[in-house]
Amino acid sequence: MDSSSSELFEQLEFKENPLFEKIISGLLEDQYCIVEDFFDSEEVRKIRTILLNKYEEERFKKAAIGNRVNETIEKAVRGDFIMWINESDAGEAEQLFFGKINALIEYLNKTCFLGILQKEFHYAIYPEGTFYKRHLDTFQNDDRRKLSLVCYLNDEDWKPENGGELVIYKEENGVEVAKSIYPFPGRVVIFESQVLEHEVKPVKTTRLSITGWLKTR
């Protein structure tokens, strides 16, 4: 094939994905988007089981502020426990997780020229009474973070009274508005890491998630 026919071939092969298109228009219009049931209840259950097993095995550590060069544990700012996930030794449930994330990254790169070349994800547990004060994800002096992605892994019967909502602060017509997003299982929130400040309100019942970043290099 010469180069023009291989280009045509690539175009023909491209299949529009309605879910990913919805994410992209959400991000373009609002700088954030909420996706319900990005993972179905069976997938959430599988990933949650892995998270809880690792927590039992004491593989989580107190989350720090700043990147790994500048770790200061600051309980007044965040109270969650995290464990970084290594894709190269992902088990079945984690492969399922990365399968969907990688498909999204590939789609974003084909359609939006975002140039996502790297990613990093960690499990997070917020025990009762913990929170994460208002912040910007790039304060961790990492300007490679373009999109933040949070995937909630709470129980099926999780209720808003359990607290721990994510609040995204956003400017609309010159005024700041706060958008509260509850951590319903299977829900994924994606937002622009360098633009939107956000916080996790105090948690009344243990809150489970995977948080990660899509990065430029």
What the block records as the tokens of 46 is 């599988």
- Least distance (Å) from ligand AKG to the CB of residue 112? 22
Site string for ligand AKG, 135-154 (x = CB under 6 A): --x------------x----
Is the CB of 17 or the CB of 138 nearer to ligand AKG?
A: 138
Contact between 38 and ligand AKG per CB under 6 A? no
Could you give the residue ranges of the DSSP H alpha helices within 57-155?
92-112
Q: How many residues comprise the chain?
A: 217
CB 70 within 8 A of CB 126: no
Element containing residue 181 per DSSP (H, E): strand 175-181
- Least distance (Å) from Fe ion to the CB of residue 90? 23
Identity of residue 81: F
Contact between 192 and Fe ion per CB under 5 A? no
Contact between 199 and Fe ion per CB under 5 A? no
Identity of residue 34: I
Site for Fe ion in 100-139 (CB under 5 A): 137
Query: Residue 214 and residue 105: Cα distance in Å, rounded?
Result: 8
211 binds, among Fe ion, ligand AKG, none (CB under 5 to 8 A by kind): ligand AKG
- Shortest-Cβ-distance residue relative to ligand AKG: 166
Could you give the residue ranges of the DSSP H alpha helices within 14-168?
18-30, 41-56, 92-112
Which residues contact Fe ion (rule: CB under 5 A)?
Answer: 137
